[in-house]
Structure 1
């Protein structure tokens, strides 16, 4: 759509949060526009067809806490197929690589770690989660590796209070056509202005003036859903400045969790929806989902500092590392059977600069600080503002809906 000169409400960002906000204004009579810097909707939710029959969620891929996930009902309304197959995260498909006794020992150490962390968090004194690793426990590097997939960073960067606040019902489903495709379909009715990178939000006057790469417009209210790394880097500037918001965003940086999709010849030789990982005593390693949805592919996961190193090494480095690790586990015959299809590079995405937020030690309170409205005209949403479902697409969507309710309340009082 063309850029309007003025609207009642401007929403910055067409990810799950921005779309959740926009849909909350359906049939309200309030004029809105969603300003998106990219040439597509979805933000960090994006599905591509990596090969015939293989949908690759470059970003979010799981309906976490599916029994409480607002996208589940949306998927049903939009006739998307939900797969409730249990995720393979705690399982292992090859006993010879990671024997059952070893897995049980690891899971016991992991559960004990979280028990210690939760108990410590209940005191209200914050610190790094790494402080609750059992000294000398041989599984510590692997527990840290798990953190890189979950938090996008190692445990020395994670607040225990924030970790304990996260709500996980341990029910995780998937969307057969792709989570990103679902988010895009959900946003289809919204009034969107794509390729409209917001550079300045001037709230010095009676109306808020917004400068974008496509021109300038004004709004009575603005909902900002930009990722924290963009706010922290002041890629989106405010006038007058909002140092408290910048500080809150810096306390909630986006970690890095990258994915790679590989095609697989002779797929029948591997189990459907299996899991593959070794038990090395190191944090820098991948985890592999074998034949998701039964397709002829393997999806690999890398996180934290290791993922950043692989991204910095250039295109194809994630795929090369994944193939090397799988070959090391399953044998040299797999080198000819695996071919790169696609990979994510979220740290190098200029409009994300990371994957999803974690609170640094001592900064769990920054989520509420980031979410707080400013002057009854600027409102904030995004997964980083969710108190209990941060780092998820449904947490982002719900936060957008919350911000829209705040806007409606402020307009009613005007």
Structure 2
């Protein structure tokens, strides 16, 4: 398959950004992608539901400092200014009073404040140590933490969270964030359906084995999800340093799945709303997240994360639909069940090219992320959302890490 100065493995947001930077610099490079498409976890499905739906990333997080906000403006992609506090809370089938909704919002804010304060004070402990005593809003707080981190509170580091920068709003993209990522990479050559099975960096050149043949490169940018590396989806000869492998395990991806229900029309009386269904009369029933009427479309989307998301991802389509329909009936009445036309489910946790949602450091292991910015043997450079200190778990974090990896790799191959 030839020889290149730099080989980029993975065409998600990080790999695409690396490729674009190398292309602009006129370097000899190749981008290899195991899937038959680009984008990784940023993927807009337009076929299943007959309208754009982001199976993975959909928020322009930290929109004021997110480079994709500017990219969206340049490419003409519209986005909505949403608020996380737009809770849609129901109890026993009826909308909750505003006072109750405000109480939930304030309790969640206090819990996240304690988590942030602990991390800012230098404590590297679990979120669960800071959430506070169990109360009626604990299940909701745990669910929202799962949506933010893709993990349960027991598995998240306060120090890692304190280093995260999130300012300027969270904006969903109307035509799809995945479509935006793909549009930004238009014109970048990517070799699809070409998984790398072995990276042999024992010699002067790095040798990459694929089902299509072998190629060599002076330097490799490794832009694949961290859970794929944990699962040894790519073999290395020699093995990667033990400290780096341990760091992968310290910053794993959790679970973040979605169920989308296409309706026969938008839910009447509600605009574009993001919230949760909470049954306070039956605490054993988990809260159920709902994104209602996105951009006026006849959709109800639920975000399922952490251990709850893992349980839901393992269910059959029929069983998952049953859970979704019960939550739907609780929120809007039993008649809403008859309005469901079609369902779409994601399976990122079992997708062999992904194996999860997004990364968060384990309690006590926040500093492990720093290892990802160090080249391995002067020939392997890491990229991906897990490599970003201030923007981990985000598309723009992956994007910026890809640019940084390209700069590092170009420095390594200079004569």
TM-score (ref. length: structure 2): 0.93
Q: State the match for 1:326 in structure 2.
A: 328
TM-aligned CA distance change 1:318 to 1:88, over 3 Å: farther
Q: State the match for 1:351 in structure 2.
A: 353
State the shift of 1:369 in Å: 1.0
TM-aligned CA distance change 1:316 to 1:69, over 3 Å: farther
Stretch moving more, 292-301 or 135-144: 135-144
In 2, are the aligned partners of 1:46 and 1:181 still within 8 Å (CA)? yes
In 2, are the aligned partners of 1:383 and 1:396 still within 8 Å (CA)? yes
Deviations 1:269-313 (A, max 9, x none): 241202452333458332101110001111111111111111112
Stretch moving more, 401-410 or 267-276: 267-276
SS at match of 2:16: helix
Q: State the match for 2:258 in structure 1.
A: 259
Q: State the match for 1:172 in structure 2.
A: 170
SS at match of 2:24: coil
Q: Describe how 1:74-89 pairs up with structure 2 within 5 A.
A: 74-79=71-76, 81-87=77-83, 89=85
SS at match of 1:41: coil
Q: Describe how 1:10-409 pairs up with structure 2 within 5 A.
A: 10-50=7-47, 54-79=51-76, 81-87=77-83, 89-92=85-88, 96-242=94-240, 243-267=242-266, 269-280=268-279, 281=283, 284-409=286-411
- Structure 1 unaligned residues grouped into runs of 5+: none
SS at match of 2:125: coil
In 2, are the aligned partners of 1:82 and 1:173 still within 8 Å (CA)? no
State the shift of 1:358 in Å: 1.0
State the shift of 1:88 in Å: 5.2
Distance 1:334 1:137 in 2: 31
In 2, are the aligned partners of 1:93 and 1:271 still within 8 Å (CA)? no
- Structure 2 unaligned residues grouped into runs of 5+: none
In 2, are the aligned partners of 1:285 and 1:306 still within 8 Å (CA)? no
In 2, are the aligned partners of 1:145 and 1:282 still within 8 Å (CA)? no
SS at match of 1:356: coil
Distance 2:277 2:261 in 1: 18
In 2, are the aligned partners of 1:166 and 1:389 still within 8 Å (CA)? yes
RMSD (Å) for aligned C-alpha atoms: 1.9
Distance 2:301 2:155 in 1: 26
In 1, are the aligned partners of 2:48 and 2:344 still within 8 Å (CA)? no
Number of aligned residues = 409
SS at match of 1:347: coil
TM-score (ref. length: structure 1): 0.94
State the shift of 1:170 in Å: 4.5
SS at match of 1:333: helix
Distance 1:75 1:216 in 2: 37
Matched, 1:7 2:9: no
Stretch moving more, 35-44 or 144-153: 144-153
TM-aligned CA distance change 1:377 to 1:135, over 3 Å: same
